[in-house]
Amino acid sequence: MTVGIRHDDLRRRNRAMVISAVRRAGQPSRTDIAATTALSPSTISAITADLISEGILVESRAGDAPAARRGRPQVAVRLNANAATILTVVLSMNQLSAALIDYAGETIAEERRKLPTLELSREALVDETVGIVRRLIVAAPDRQPIMRIVLAVQGITDSNERKLLWSPITPHADIDFSAILEKEFGIPVTVENDCNMIAVGLRWRNPERYARDFIAVLLSHGIGMGMVLRGELFTGTQSSGGEFGHMIHRPDGALCRCGRRGCIEAYAGNYAIWRNAKGLPETEAVARDVTDEDIRALADVARSRPGPEREAFRIAGEAIGFGLGNLFALIDPAPVAIVGHGANAFDLIEKPMLDAIARTAGGVHSGAISFDTEPDEMPLIREGCAMRALTFIDQEVFSPAQTAAPGRIVA
Amino acid sequence: MTVGIRHDDLRRRNRAMVISAVRRAGQPSRTDIAATTALSPSTISAITADLISEGILVESRAGDAPAARRGRPQVAVRLNANAATILTVVLSMNQLSAALIDYAGETIAEERRKLPTLELSREALVDETVGIVRRLIVAAPDRQPIMRIVLAVQGITDSNERKLLWSPITPHADIDFSAILEKEFGIPVTVENDCNMIAVGLRWRNPERYARDFIAVLLSHGIGMGMVLRGELFTGTQSSGGEFGHMIHRPDGALCRCGRRGCIEAYAGNYAIWRNAKGLPETEAVARDVTDEDIRALADVARSRPGPEREAFRIAGEAIGFGLGNLFALIDPAPVAIVGHGANAFDLIEKPMLDAIARTAGGVHSGAISFDTEPDEMPLIREGCAMRALTFIDQEVFSPAQTAAPGRIVA
DNA sequence: CTCTTTTTTTCGAGCCTCGAAAAAAATAAT
DNA sequence: ATTATTTTTTTCGAGGCTCGAAAAAAAGAG
């Protein structure tokens, strides 16, 4: 922050800016790029010429809307899909998936598998992860070199984005996935929190709604959160942070999976809804593995008649509402996306949630709050990972600090 | 964010960087500046020459430590105290103060007065503010033009930093102090939250401890908070945000001044401590104006023997602890400064506070948490305001976007 | 009084962006 | 069919900025 700007930074940053503009616009003309970056046409001309000669961009003559206008037609440029390849891995409860993605963001190959994450040994979990990566790499020999791996995992990651510090999906803590995978494959690896990737994915998918400030809440086994503030992904100072689900809703209240008492998750997680619906004591852990199917069944009952099921969803909505209200007290109201299977029961939790928010400081500008739901979180996580990896390539590899981009020129 | 960097931005930013380096270092040599900014000696030479000729910096031959070293002695540069003048105003409960500050940050003149803010009409409150500013300006005719006014006020301000949206010190809401003062004096005005200025002041005073991430909690009539994350002051998306005191500690719990139930302030504010110590019902407002003196007396009793007074402080500590723990769940542990008169009772609240934090997700890395106390908040707020105003001058006036700095050259 | 050391300035080279003008590539008009 | 018009893109020179190398400046050491 205290460091001056050197002359070569200029070109570096403007290169990254042009790449970013192309990534967002898809097939912009040079004029379009000049408009969005506020750089002069001459500068854009020079930079795009460089990027094309380096194989990062390609011209695609067929402008999507030639529209028979007068004048020299625009020549669209787009990302060269072959300029780079990245790999995403998503590790979540009982599920492991990976995908090979080209520079334009299209999926080249994919693999998904079920595995009992809670029961696997540390080594077995690591081996599964290494294995799925290896299979994808081996299956695409023409896609070498792969330039980046991004692994999203449900749990707390460190702020260097290298380790899984703690996760509800495995009893093992402090797994240095970056070191392991980098040693194995020689490719830079980033480890990310799944909800943070959901936030990145949401912004990519709908930049109108999810722009400068928004919140993504994942309702699943546990409660996760990702947040973008002032256009930047919010993280903790030492970890991925944003442990919304473990903010205390009621001091010394219901027992949480994490061992503490009164966490939001202990009222709104799958197991908590089950516990309340079945009238089990809230001071005791839930032995049963509560599935999405269980929750769906409870929701059906809750919709059909008043009773403990409906009350369980009310309690869940209330806990989330107070949590969001407290968050709004800190950051002010912002658009919220309710993601994950729990979004299917949003009709049951919405009213108690809004009632709770209205009882908090965040309820003052409740008009500014709006909710959207997305029951399937996996595609969002994958898209978020892909964007994270591609943004890294755009900035660090194709707009590097020192010499000209060493990126392989691929036809 | 999406906008490219132009060529003239370069010099602008590097100018600001040099000024900032001088402001932080005090009396650095050109070599020192080159080291901290990572710019070349030639560039620093050129920029400092400009700044000196514009009267923003001055050489001060008497290097503070000539130290009889070999070689050409360093020539220190420092800020020209006469380069600009700014004005700070602090409006808090029953108190209004203002100060005229030179470009080096030294106070030129000051005025403080008591006034019953809660009882004043909107017009009277505005008139008092205009009056104190006018008196300071009139009393220093040689200090024209004053380049910036920063007003810190206890309460919620808007994110454009122009209005007081709501405040506990007055029943009147939505006071556009910026518009009023700018119309009156023709000087740009910024309206800030007092706790945010405390955070800025803390960083200025002790940059070692209060660096990239820290939290300032003001314990007074109410509970306020200012926070710096990743080196930047944290604010809400639409307001000053950080309404820590109005996060809900216990849903539907004790009645808060704000009219809601269960806010942290309703357990830890002066009036809440009084209410609990005197055994008054927590569902009723406190009629009495609880003073710092009252709290001091309660604290003395609490220290001398067990009883409701000690319990009241325990409850306050617990509420703050759960609040901080929830904050730490979001941002991870960070150094905390307990500011304001409540810091005098820190010995009473520390233990219950730490106990509460240990019961939250923030307690996991409790080793990373450290507390410091500062009972007198007013000097910090003033310093924060001064720094805010001076930083603005450094960046916007003396490193302007377009033409060369129009700053008056003052000998 | 000369040599050494350190700081600061000077000067030319190399980039970068910009504006203006030219070139390119299409449609519209004659 | 040819010329005029319009819009996009490239070219080219000007102006700024930072940098490195060398020179100048300003001291103490010998």
Q: Are residues B231 and B368 in the same domain?
A: yes
Is the residue at A51 inside a domain?
yes
Mean pLDDT of the region B106-119? 96
Rounded-to-integer distance, Cα A79 and Cα A27, Å: 8
Q: Which position has the higher pLDDT, B97 or A3?
A: B97
Assign B358 a pLDDT band (cuts: 50, 70, 90): very high
Contacts of B260 in chain A (CB under 8 A): 359-361
Rounded-to-integer distance, Cα B405 and Cα B11, Å: 12
Last residue within a domain, chosen from A16, A44, A79: A79
- Asked if the Cβ–Cβ distance from A330 to B248 is below 8 Å, we say no
Here the CATH number for the domain that contains residue B142 is: 3.30.420.40
Contacts of A6 in chain B (CB under 8 A): 38-39
The answer to whether some atom of strand C lies closer than 7 Å to the beta carbon of A49 is: no
- Asked if the Cβ–Cβ distance from A322 to B248 is below 8 Å, we say yes
CA→C1' distance for B9 and D15 (Å): 14
Q: B16 and chain A: CB distance < 8 Å anywhere?
A: no
Is the residue at A403 inside a domain?
no
Which pLDDT score, from 0 to 100, does residue A8 have?
82
Q: Are residues A51 and A179 in the same domain?
A: no
- Asked if the Cβ–Cβ distance from A20 to B2 is below 8 Å, we say yes
CA→C1' distance for B70 and C3 (Å): 12
Q: Nearest by CB to A365, which of B18, B229, B238?
A: B238
Which pLDDT score, from 0 to 100, does residue A404 have?
37
The pair of three-digit structure tokens given for residue B221, joined into one six-digit string = 């009539």
Here the CATH number for the domain that contains residue B15 is: 1.10.10
Helices and strands (H and E) in chain B: how many:
12, 14
* Cα-based torsion angle of the residue sequence B372, B361, B229, B367 in order, rounded to the nearest 10 degrees: 40
Nearest by Cα to B10 from B39, B31, B33, B36: B39
Of B2-16, B212-226, B253-267, give the lowest mean pLDDT range. Answer: B2-16
Is the residue at A275 inside a domain?
yes
Nearest by Cα to A264 from A190, A326, A309: A326
Q: Which of residues 55-114 of B touch strand C (CB under 7 A)?
A: 69-75
Rounded-to-integer distance, Cα B170 and Cα B191, Å: 16
Contacts of A370 in chain B (CB under 8 A): none
Q: Are residues A47 and A154 in the same domain?
A: no
Mean pLDDT score of chain B, rounded to an integer? 93
The pair of three-digit structure tokens given for residue B346, joined into one six-digit string = 């820190």
Is the residue at A303 inside a domain?
yes
Rounded-to-integer distance, Cα A317 and Cα A333, Å: 17
Please give the residue of chain B at the shortest CA–CA distance from A322: B248
The pair of three-digit structure tokens given for residue B45, joined into one six-digit string = 């030479």
CA→C1' distance for A11 and C14 (Å): 14
Q: Which position has the higher pLDDT, B57 or B404?
A: B57
The model's pLDDT over B255-268, given as tens digits with 9 standing for 90+, comes to: 999 999 999 999 99
Q: Which of residues 129-148 of B touch strand D (CB under 7 A)?
A: none
Which pLDDT score, from 0 to 100, does residue A4 have?
79
Which pLDDT score, from 0 to 100, does residue A60 have?
87
Q: Which of residues 317-356 of B touch strand D (CB under 7 A)?
A: none
Mean pLDDT of the region B60-80? 79
* Closest CA of chain B from A9, distance in Å: 9
* Closest CA of chain B from A74, distance in Å: 21
CA→C1' distance for A70 and D2 (Å): 18
Rounded-to-integer distance, Cα B391 and Cα B385, Å: 10
Q: Are residues B222 and B318 in the same domain?
A: yes
Is the residue at A71 inside a domain?
yes
Here the CATH number for the domain that contains residue A23 is: 1.10.10.10
The model's pLDDT over B371-386, given as tens digits with 9 standing for 90+, comes to: 999 999 999 999 999 9
Q: Are residues A144 and A188 in the same domain?
A: yes
Partner residues linked to A189 by β-bridges: A149
Is the residue at A387 inside a domain?
yes
Contacts of B236 in chain A (CB under 8 A): 330-332
Which pLDDT score, from 0 to 100, does residue B64 have?
53
- Asked if the Cβ–Cβ distance from A4 to B38 is below 8 Å, we say yes
The backbone region for A407, taken as left when phi is positive above 0, alpha when psi lies in -120 to 50, beta otherwise, is: beta
Q: A401 and chain B: CB distance < 8 Å anywhere?
A: no
Q: Are residues B210 and B319 in the same domain?
A: yes
Interface test with A, best of B243, B327, B359, B366 (most A CBs within 10 A): B243
CA→C1' distance for A76 and C25 (Å): 14
Of A257-261, B62-66, B114-118, give the lowest mean pLDDT range. Answer: B62-66
Q: A211 and chain B: CB distance < 8 Å anywhere?
A: no
Interface test with A, best of B156, B263, B326 (most A CBs within 10 A): B326
Which pLDDT score, from 0 to 100, does residue A400 have?
85
Contacts of B6 in chain A (CB under 8 A): 38-39
Q: Are residues A212 and A294 in the same domain?
A: yes
Cβ-Cβ contacts under 8 Å for B369 (sequence gap 6 or more): B324, B328, B333, B334, B335, B336, B357, B362
How many A-B residue pairs are in contact by the CB < 8 A criterion? Answer: 163
Which of 314-333 (A) contact B at CB < 8 A?
A: 318, 322, 325-327, 329-333
Q: Are residues A287 and A365 in the same domain?
A: yes
The model's pLDDT over B118-151, given as tens digits with 9 standing for 90+, comes to: 999 999 999 999 999 999 999 999 998 999 999 9
Which pLDDT score, from 0 to 100, does residue A64 have?
53
Q: Report whether pLDDT(B306) > 90.
A: yes
Rounded to a whole number of angstroms, the CA Rg of chain A reads: 23
Q: Are residues B46 and B143 in the same domain?
A: no
Q: B230 and chain A: CB distance < 8 Å anywhere?
A: yes
Q: Which of residues 43-102 of B touch strand D (CB under 7 A)?
A: 43, 46-47, 68-73
Q: Report whether pLDDT(B67) > 70.
A: no
CA→C1' distance for B12 and D16 (Å): 12
Q: Nearest by CB to A2, which of B36, B258, B331?
A: B36
Domain housing A72: 7-79
Partner residues linked to B233 by β-bridges: B228
Q: Report whether pLDDT(B357) > 70.
A: yes
Q: Are residues B244 and B184 in the same domain?
A: no
CA→C1' distance for B48 and D20 (Å): 19
Which pLDDT score, from 0 to 100, does residue B40 have?
95
Q: Report whether pLDDT(B411) > 80.
A: no
Mean pLDDT of the region B282-300? 94
- Asked if the Cβ–Cβ distance from A251 to B318 is below 8 Å, we say yes
In tens digits, chain A (411 residues) has pLDDT values of 467 788 888 999 999 999 999 999 999 999 999 999 999 999 999 999 999 999 999 998 755 555 668 888 899 999 999 999 999 999 999 999 999 999 999 999 999 999 999 999 999 999 999 999 999 999 999 998 999 999 999 999 999 999 999 999 999 999 999 999 999 999 999 999 999 999 999 999 999 999 999 999 999 889 999 999 999 999 999 999 999 999 999 999 999 999 999 999 999 999 999 999 999 999 999 988 899 999 999 999 999 999 999 999 999 999 999 999 999 999 999 999 999 999 999 999 999 999 999 999 887 777 778 999 999 999 999 999 999 999 999 999 998 875 433 332 222
Rounded-to-integer distance, Cα A298 and Cα B237, Å: 37
Domain count, chain B: 3
- Asked if the Cβ–Cβ distance from A248 to B326 is below 8 Å, we say yes
Rounded-to-integer distance, Cα A90 and Cα A129, Å: 9
CA→C1' distance for B42 and C10 (Å): 9
Rounded-to-integer distance, Cα A108 and Cα A23, Å: 18
* Closest CA of chain A from B237, distance in Å: 6
Query: Nearest nt (C1') to A9 (CA)?
Result: C16
Question: Which stretches does DSSP call E strand in A1-94?
Answer: 57-60, 76-79, 85-92
Which pLDDT score, from 0 to 100, does residue B66 have?
57
Q: Are residues A191 and A96 in the same domain?
A: yes
The pair of three-digit structure tokens given for residue A249, joined into one six-digit string = 């809703």
Q: Are residues B235 and B135 in the same domain?
A: no
Closest residue to D26 (CA, C1′): B72
* Closest CA of chain B from A259, distance in Å: 10
- Asked if the Cβ–Cβ distance from B260 to A7 is below 8 Å, we say no
The pair of three-digit structure tokens given for residue B140, joined into one six-digit string = 């220093």
The C-alpha angle with vertex B93 and arms to B90 and B98, in degrees rounded to 5, equals 20
Rounded-to-integer distance, Cα A365 and Cα A141, Å: 55
Please give the residue of chain B at the shortest CA–CA distance from A324: B247
Is the residue at B406 inside a domain?
no
Please give the residue of chain A at the shortest CA–CA distance from B334: A237
The pair of three-digit structure tokens given for residue A382, joined into one six-digit string = 């994958």
Is the residue at B357 inside a domain?
yes
Assign B409 a pLDDT band (cuts: 50, 70, 90): very low
Pairing of strands B371-374, B336-339: parallel
Last residue within a domain, chosen from A79, A95, A130: A79
